Amino acid sequence: MDLLKRGVAALERISPEPQRTDFFSSDIFLWRGDGYLEPIKQSNGLDLLLLHGIDRARDTLYDNTRIFADGLPANHALLWGARGCGKSSLVKAVHRKINENEPGSLALVELLSDDIESLPELYDLLRDTDRRYIIFCDDLAFDDGDKTYKALKSVLDGGVRGSPSNILLYVTSNRRHLLSRDMIENEKSTALHAGEATEEKVSLSDRFGLWLGIHSIDQSAYLEIVEKYADYFNLKIAREELRKEALDWVSQRGSRSGRVAWQFIRSFAGQHGTAIPE
């Protein structure tokens, strides 16, 4: 028996202590699916004023988030549309603006799409704390044969414990219904009641109270975004020269988006010796 006790004591000494989360140590956390929230000290959220061409989505998401931060009911949000159009930037910028107005009022927890199956565990960790959270999952989509979407469905439905009042889920995707067309069609072709199977899958996106579509922009909107960036960062250049260089840049990329405008302005600022945020 003494030998057994000594063995247990030795195992306890070499086993690492479980990491404990200080939920107020930061306003931004990263969840890796291992039961621990990693505090992130520096935000890469843009100023909300810099997001142009997505005014309706910007104002709607900000209002929803502000209401939630004030302790009132609000909706989960699905932001969908083409890549690079500002979906993830919008979520981060809204969070930054809320905490500028009310410091520490809202935490942003990033959940990697590969860890979506651990979402119920994250909910359980956060639900009984004295803080309000936006769980943010960027670029989420489910392909044929992927059953992890059921974890998302379960937390949106609330389960037997109900939905916690201190958590909202914001998801971005390039798919309106989160699921690939092949995935939906495969279920439809193999199900006994095809219509019901398809409806169940499509209804995953219906569980988000807010649907915000963010789409590609035209040339006028692209140039407006570039000019707003130049004004904000006080870049000294004639408008015609700025527009010409911005159009040359986009012709090399083959597409126009808020991301392309941001990449251009970073390149332009660097070439002219001006530092701007990452």
Please name the residues in contact with 97: beta carbons below 8 A apart, sequence gap of 6 or more: 47, 48, 62
- Domains identified in the chain, total number: 2
Residues 42 and 157 in one domain: yes
**What tens digit of pLDDT does each residue of 232-243 get?**
999 988 999 999
Least confident segment among 1-10, 203-212, 254-263: 1-10
pLDDT at 111: 94
Predicted TM-score (pTM) of this structure: 0.82
In a domain, 123, yes or no: yes
With 50 as the cut, is the pLDDT of residue 192 above it?
A: no
* Contact indicator for 194, 188 with CB cutoff of 8 Å: yes
In a domain, 5, yes or no: no
Mean pLDDT (the chain) is 84
Residues 40 and 141 in one domain: yes
State the CB neighbour count (10 A cutoff) for residue 185. 13
Residue with tokens 């639900």: 127
With 90 as the cut, is the pLDDT of residue 78 above it?
A: yes
| CATH number, residue 121 | 3.40.50.300
pLDDT at 127: 92
Q: Tell me which of 214, 229, 252 is where a domain ends.
A: 214
Please report which confidence band the pLDDT of residue 274 belongs to, taking 50, 70 and 90 as the band edges: confident
The pLDDT of 13-42, averaged and rounded, is 79
pLDDT at 142: 81
pLDDT at 191: 46
How far, rounded to the nearest angstrom, does the alpha carbon of residue 157 sit from its chain's CA centroid? 20
Residues 144 and 229 in one domain: no
The pLDDT of 110-127, averaged and rounded, is 92
pLDDT at 19: 59
With 50 as the cut, is the pLDDT of residue 89 above it?
A: yes
pLDDT at 103: 94
pLDDT at 205: 80
Q: Tell me which of 195, 214, 233 is where a domain ends.
A: 214
pLDDT top residue among 226 and 32? 226
pLDDT at 204: 77
Residues 162 and 241 in one domain: no
- Which of 95-99's residues contact partners 24+ apart within 8 Å by CB, and which partners? 95/27, 95/28, 95/43, 95/45, 95/65, 95/134, 95/136, 96/43, 96/45, 96/46, 96/47, 96/48, 97/47, 97/48, 97/62, 98/62, 98/65, 98/66, 98/69, 99/27
pLDDT at 13: 47
φ, ψ at 37 (rounded to 5°): -95, 125
With 90 as the cut, is the pLDDT of residue 148 above it?
A: no
List the domain range (segments joined by +) for residue 189. 28-214
**What tens digit of pLDDT does each residue of 209-231 get?**
999 999 888 899 999 999 999 99
pLDDT at 79: 95
With 50 as the cut, is the pLDDT of residue 15 above it?
A: no
With 80 as the cut, is the pLDDT of residue 187 above it?
A: no
Residues 146 and 191 in one domain: yes
In a domain, 114, yes or no: yes
Most confident of 10-24, 67-81, 215-229, 243-257: 67-81
φ, ψ at 77 (rounded to 5°): -130, 135
